[in-house]
Amino acid sequence: MSTREEVLRHLESVGYVQPALHKQTQAPYPDAIDHTLWRTYTRSVHDVGGEADVPIQYEEKQEEQWELNTFATCECLAWRGVWNAEERRRRQNVDIGQTAYLGLPYYGRWLMTAARILVDKQYATLTELVNKIDEVKKRHEHKKSSR
């Protein structure tokens, strides 16, 4: 059970990453939505080409082991027919929303999508998934403490 402080800290964190809605609308009639507003509503979160952004220095990096494992796991899911590449891309780039898209690392979105699809398509229950995550966390903590 979460304490009041944990809940408040969580809400503050969510508020920090949540995109701001600067113009309140109450389900406007179609004639109140001009072309610019329509394009804004229908833009998918991964469609960032041509948008203004701050300069960023791109650097090549060596993939970490968890990233390689994630890629292999997701490829195995595809080989076994759990999903195809288009479904994976849609779920990890479009369906997750702007906050998660911009806030998670690239392979973090792959992992979250894999977990969601396994539950959505009933290959595993949410309880089984949570229990497995707890088991792996405990195993990892035990390895760290025994060093």
Q: How high is the pLDDT of residue 46? A: 61
Query: Residue 89: what pLDDT?
Result: 87
Q: Each residue of 84-103: pLDDT tens digit?
A: 988 988 888 888 877 788 78
What's the pLDDT score for residue 54?
63
Domain boundaries, the chain: 64-147
Tokens 């973090």, residue located: 108
Considering the domain 64-147, what is its CATH architecture?
Orthogonal Bundle (1.10)
- The reported pLDDT for the residue numbered 43 is 66
Region 115-136 average pLDDT: 94
> What average pLDDT does range 5-33 have in this prediction?
73
Q: What is the pLDDT of residue 67?
A: 95
Write the CB contacts of 96 (distance below 8 Å, at least 6 apart in sequence). Answer: 45, 104, 109, 112, 113
Q: Catalytic residues, which ones?
A: 106
